[in-house]
Structure 1
Amino acid sequence: MNTAHHPDTNVVDHLNAEWRWLCDRPTPATQIRGWLIDAGVLDQDAPHRLDELHELLQQRSKEQGRHFSDAWLTALLERAVGEGEQAQLAARVVLQAMLPGAVRMTRRCLRDGEAFADVAQLVIASLYQVVRRFPITRRRQQLARNLRLELWHLVSRELGREFAPSGEELPGEHGPVADEVSDPVAQAGVVLLASAAHTAGLHSADEPVEELTGARGELIELLVWALAQKVLTTDAATSIADHYRATGAISDEAAARAAGVSTAAIRQKRSRAVIRLRTAAPMWAAAA
């Protein structure tokens, strides 16, 4: 797989275009279909198009859970860790299945002043490395979860080396979040979001990271993205983040006194920011 960066091309868009190209060709689908039938994952009624196979695998993984997911991932990862064109094809299908999660991780990794395309390039390259090097002979259970966790470990090291000041740890990396979030994959996502939100001024170091889950977490993730895409200014994003809190929300009166303006001006400012955010939200959702 070629992950070379083109200044005018987002690597995620490039991968999706490449995927559509693959899906229009019969040979990749025939190979993937044959591997999955030979492994007992699918039967002869399986679709003959790659995109339809991919959709079926995703749907049955949701319906049947980890055991089915482990079965088809094992069938492809056993080939993905090899050499040659077949290994690259198997890895490419696994990568496509994990691409939405990689996009979410990219958004949560963004810090002020960083371009989505640059961070996405790092995350996708790390994902491809994880898939191609995964120790499938030793680890055959909870594969999707372990792939995401391996990706988190690799990306966190790369971010610390390339995007953070020398010697700086990601906020919360060794904090109490492990006691609050039992799933290390979920923990990794919360830590990444806390890092991006802290850098963007939307989450202070003394706020519990577990607050960045559920609806609050989705809002902060959207605001971090909006700042990176220059949809909102820092003041506008902060006004939304401070107002829509489950606990400890800053009242309009207090915000007005702090800014030296009227309460009506604070509300009007936030209303304009919310309108801009709602207008741009479909672009954020489309990347998920």
Structure 2
Amino acid sequence: MSAEPTLITRLNTEWEWLCAAHGNADRVRSWMLSAGVLNADQAPAALDELCVVLRERADRDGAAVSDAWMGVLLQRVGAGDERNAALAARVLVQAMLPCAQRMMRRSLRDGECGEDVAQLVVASLWEVVLTYPIARRPRKVATGLRLELWHRVSRELTRELASSEQLDEELLAACPGDADPSLAAEAALLARAAAEAGLRPTAAGELEGARGELVEILMWALEREVLTSQAAAGICDHYREGAPQDAEAAAALGVSPVALRRRRSRAVARLREVVPQWVEAA
């Protein structure tokens, strides 16, 4: 998915209009203040800035903050007031759009249309937001939303992925009992996408922390044709636990260790140049 899907561009443009529209920010802000999620001096008057503050607080203070403000919005979605429900749902969709975009990138296969995958994932996202049973499942809301989205997408993308039942069994067998299943699902998608892109086969359980971030950056670089498959595979294989020495790796490729190091150095330099773009898009 080398370019942003048209649907995502439209959603982002629509979000700008929504933020600029009179009254929307006041309503969302009042919900957060009434629920005690934020104090008045912590809540910006602009809707986009308010959402940034909520995300930053969640990053700093943990999932309980995400659960709180997402729960407030989901309660509005199900409260029966159509105008407020539509606004609350749209804020949630925008908040989860980065997660949906990662899922799009990891679900896309050779020969598939990125726009079609985007349509399917975004439709699934709307369904999750509009039907999430917040009254029955008031805890771990952020995790629940991500997991529901993954389940819906995995069921729909039957041509690209194994059936959701098979994937669920794989995850159940691979995940520790205290693992966040939604994050494990994302790791499973990343592992599959990386393997199909020609990167060294990696178990989903290994895609944590810096290793997972590296593989995600390499996938992004391949999608945007920043790196060749050979260059990405070389970086992926070298920067891992138990990687072979350069002499061994070079012999397997039929090149000298010096040539291998130069090739890898050029690839790393290209990657460093574009990492800021990946950070901005993530």
Shorter-chain TM band = 0.7 to 0.9
2:99 paired with 1:105: no
**Compared CA separation, residues 35 and 105, structure 1 to 2 (3 A):** same
Aligned residues between the structures: 278
**Compared CA separation, residues 167 and 182, structure 1 to 2 (3 A):** closer
Q: Deviations over 1:240-259 (max 9, x none)?
A: 11111122x13322232223
Work out which of the residue numbers 222, 244, 256 in structure 2 matches 1:227.
222
**Compared CA separation, residues 171 and 237, structure 1 to 2 (3 A):** farther
Residues 239 and 270 of structure 1 are in contact (CA less than 8 Å); yes or no, is this contact kept in structure 2?
yes
TM-score for both structures, normalised by structure 1: 0.82
1:67-146 to structure 2, matched below 5 A, reads 67-81=64-78, 82=80, 84-112=82-110, 117-146=115-144
1:251 aligned residue = 245
1:148 aligned residue = 146
Work out which of the residue numbers 251, 257, 263 in structure 2 matches 1:263.
257
1:1-288 to structure 2, matched below 5 A, reads 9-42=5-38, 44-45=40-41, 46-81=43-78, 82=80, 84-112=82-110, 117-159=115-157, 161-164=158-161, 173-174=170-171, 176-179=173-176, 182-204=179-201, 207-247=202-242, 249-288=243-282
What is the CA distance between 1:87 and its match in structure 2? Answer: 1.7
**CA distance, structure 2, for counterparts of residue 97 and residue 17 of structure 1:** 14
| Amino acid of the structure 2 residue aligned with 1:192 | L
- Name the % identity: 51
Q: Deviations over 1:154-210 (max 9, x none)?
A: 122122x14247999559835742138722122112111111111112132xx5432
Residues 112 and 200 of structure 1 are in contact (CA less than 8 Å); yes or no, is this contact kept in structure 2?
no
**CA distance, structure 2, for counterparts of residue 263 and residue 172 of structure 1:** 42
Q: Which moved more, 1:144-153 or 1:68-77?
A: 68-77
What is the CA distance between 1:9 and its match in structure 2? Answer: 4.7
Per the alignment, in what secondary structure is the counterpart of residue 154 of structure 1? Answer: helix
Q: Deviations over 1:243-287 (max 9, x none)?
A: 11122x133222322232222222222222222222222222211
**CA distance, structure 2, for counterparts of residue 109 and residue 199 of structure 1:** 11
Per the alignment, in what secondary structure is the counterpart of residue 173 of structure 1? Answer: helix
**CA distance, structure 2, for counterparts of residue 277 and residue 255 of structure 1:** 21
Aligned alpha-carbon RMSD (Å): 3.0
Q: Deviations over 1:131-160 (max 9, x none)?
A: 11101121111111111111111122122x
**CA distance, structure 2, for counterparts of residue 144 and residue 195 of structure 1:** 24
Residues 200 and 237 of structure 2 are in contact (CA less than 8 Å); yes or no, is this contact kept in structure 1?
no
Per the alignment, in what secondary structure is the counterpart of residue 179 of structure 1? Answer: coil
**Compared CA separation, residues 181 and 286, structure 1 to 2 (3 A):** farther
Q: Which moved more, 1:130-139 or 1:62-71?
A: 62-71
Unpaired segments ≥5 residues, structure 2: none
Q: Which moved more, 1:47-56 or 1:237-246?
A: 47-56
What is the CA distance between 1:220 and its match in structure 2? Answer: 1.0
Per the alignment, in what secondary structure is the counterpart of residue 231 of structure 1? Answer: coil
